[in-house]
């Protein structure tokens, strides 16, 4: 039995109950070297491409300052990470610019930290976002669990039935991250996870989202992927920390402040610019950033980096976009 849910995310929820996640490098934060071009998901080890020629499937990280695979602006759109400093991206449907055009697909795959146990129910979550360059949005983005690695000789459709899928829900949001989640009861021994669109063009439902786009394709970003025993889920803190990913200090009394909700005593917040200079710092759980330096000078619009240090917990890092 599977349970499917779609949720729209407007905040990074960073203080969840501890779970034993079986997906290594779940947010693609760890890398061998900084990506500098397309088709480099293998740099986010142990993620890899399930095609023997190792082409396709992209890796984006803030460590790169080039337009191609930078964050937040890159060759296929503009998006901040759902979590951390990186994400992956793949073509899931393509009517032109892909060779071959018909049934062209890209996937990402990873070996789980440990195999799934027979009869156990596992919860699987992943966040997706449609890239700005996409003319189309599709349904049936899925995740497939397998005992052996899934490998193909080319970039055609993998004829597999994903155990977790967005099914009939067409994911068309380009500004927010959409959560796909489901439950899967293991047959036992599954130790690989493959993500993408497992349906051919005929069986993929699509909608035109922007007729002005010249590229007739569908490209999705993926981030923060988790697989864990559903029984491992602990009661969540009712005062879950919420961190906004954008604010507009223009004195219109709407979203003027960067406020982190539900911080506790002993927490601290630092905000840095892209060059690593400390812009703002607070040790008060009730403080906020108004878009000014410590000396009171307004900073320009752009991307800023925050570090939230919580007592008895690891630091949380991410982005906030300041728009003037």
DSSP 85-118: TEEEEEEEEESSSSSS-TT----EEEE-SSPPPT
Q: Looking at residue 230, what DSSP letter applies?
A: G
pLDDT tens, position by position, 197-217: 999 999 999 999 988 887 789
Same domain, 257 and 301: yes
Same domain, 248 and 208: no
**What pLDDT was estimated at residue 54?**
64
Same domain, 141 and 74: yes
**What pLDDT was estimated at residue 233?**
60
Same domain, 211 and 152: yes
| 237: in domain | no
Where among 175, 204, 232 does a domain terminate?
232
Q: 171-200: buried (b, 16+ CB within 10 Å) or exposed (e) per residue?
A: bbebebbbbbbbbbebeeebbbbbbbbbbe
Residue 251: partners with Cβ closer than 8 Å, 6 or more residues away: none
Q: Return the residue matching tokens 């073509």.
A: 91
CA angle 228, 198, 42 (to 5 degrees): 65
Token digits for 219?
A: 């490209």
Where among 200, 232, 264 does a domain terminate?
232
CATH of the domain at 252: 2.60.40
CATH of the domain at 177: 2.60.120.260
| 117: in domain | yes
**What pLDDT was estimated at residue 237?**
47
Same domain, 199 and 76: yes
* Measured distance CA(230)–CA(236) in Å, rounded: 14
| 280: in domain | yes
Same domain, 182 and 259: no
pLDDT tens, position by position, 117-175: 999 999 999 999 999 999 999 998 999 999 999 988 787 899 999 999 998 789 999 98
pLDDT tens over the chain, length 324 residues: 343 444 333 334 333 445 799 999 999 999 999 999 999 999 999 999 998 776 789 999 999 877 899 999 999 999 999 988 999 999 999 887 677 778 899 999 999 999 999 999 999 999 999 999 999 999 989 999 999 999 887 878 999 999 999 987 899 999 899 999 999 999 999 999 999 999 999 999 999 998 888 778 999 999 999 999 998 765 454 467 888 889 999 888 888 999 988 888 888 899 999 888 899 998 877 778 999 998 889 999 999 999 998 887 777 888 899 998
Same domain, 149 and 173: yes
Question: Is the CB of residue 143 less than 8 Å from the CB of residue 90?
Answer: no
| 314: in domain | yes
Where among 187, 202, 232 does a domain terminate?
232
Q: Return the residue matching tokens 């040790």.
A: 283
Same domain, 144 and 165: yes
Same domain, 88 and 154: yes
**What pLDDT was estimated at residue 284?**
77
Question: Is the CB of residue 51 less than 8 Å from the CB of residue 153?
Answer: yes
Same domain, 20 and 159: yes
CA 28 to chain centre: 9
Q: Which domain holds residue 254?
A: 242-322
**What pLDDT was estimated at residue 241?**
81
* Measured distance CA(24)–CA(42) in Å, rounded: 13
3-state secondary structure of 152: strand
Same domain, 199 and 256: no
Torsional sign, CA 153, 154, 160, 166: positive
Same domain, 199 and 258: no
Give the chain's domain count: 2
């Amino acid at each position: 039995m599977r349970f499917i849910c779609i949720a729209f995310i407007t905040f990074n929820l960073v203080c969840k109950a501890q779970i034993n996640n079986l997906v290594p490098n779940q947010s693609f934060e760890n890398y061998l070297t900084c990506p500098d071009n397309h088709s480099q998901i293998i740099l986010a080890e142990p993620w890899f491409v399930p095609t023997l020629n190792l082409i396709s499937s992209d890796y984006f990280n803030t460590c790169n300052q080039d337009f191609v695979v930078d964050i937040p602006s890159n060759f296929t759109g503009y998006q901040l990470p759902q979590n951390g400093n990186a994400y992956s991206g793949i073509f899931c449907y393509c009517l032109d610019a892909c060779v071959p055009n018909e049934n062209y697909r890209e996937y990402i795959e990873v070996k789980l930290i440990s195999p799934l146990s027979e009869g156990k129910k596992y919860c699987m979550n992943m966040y997706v976002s449609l890239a700005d360059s996409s003319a189309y949005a599709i349904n049936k983005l899925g995740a497939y669990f397998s005992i052996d690695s899934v490998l193909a000789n080319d970039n055609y459709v993998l004829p597999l039935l994903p155990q977790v899928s967005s099914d009939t829900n067409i994911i068309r949001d380009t500004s927010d991250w959409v959560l796909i989640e489901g439950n899967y009861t293991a047959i036992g021994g599954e130790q690989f996870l493959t993500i993408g669109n497992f349906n051919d063009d005929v069986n993929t439902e699509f909608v035109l989202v922007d007729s002005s786009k010249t590229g007739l394709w569908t490209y999705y970003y993926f981030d923060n992927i988790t697989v864990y025993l559903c029984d491992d889920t602990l009661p969540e803190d009712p005062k879950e920390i919420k961190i906004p990913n954008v604010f507009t200090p223009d004195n219109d009394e709407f979203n003027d402040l960067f406020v982190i909700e539900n911080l506790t005593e002993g927490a601290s917040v630092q905000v840095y610019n892209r060059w690593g200079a400390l812009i703002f710092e607070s040790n008060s759980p009730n403080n906020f950033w108004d878009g000014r330096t410590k000396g009171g000078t307004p900073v320009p619009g752009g991307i800023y980096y925050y570090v939230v240090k919580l007592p008895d917990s690891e630091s949380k890092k991410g982005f906030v976009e300041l728009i003037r």
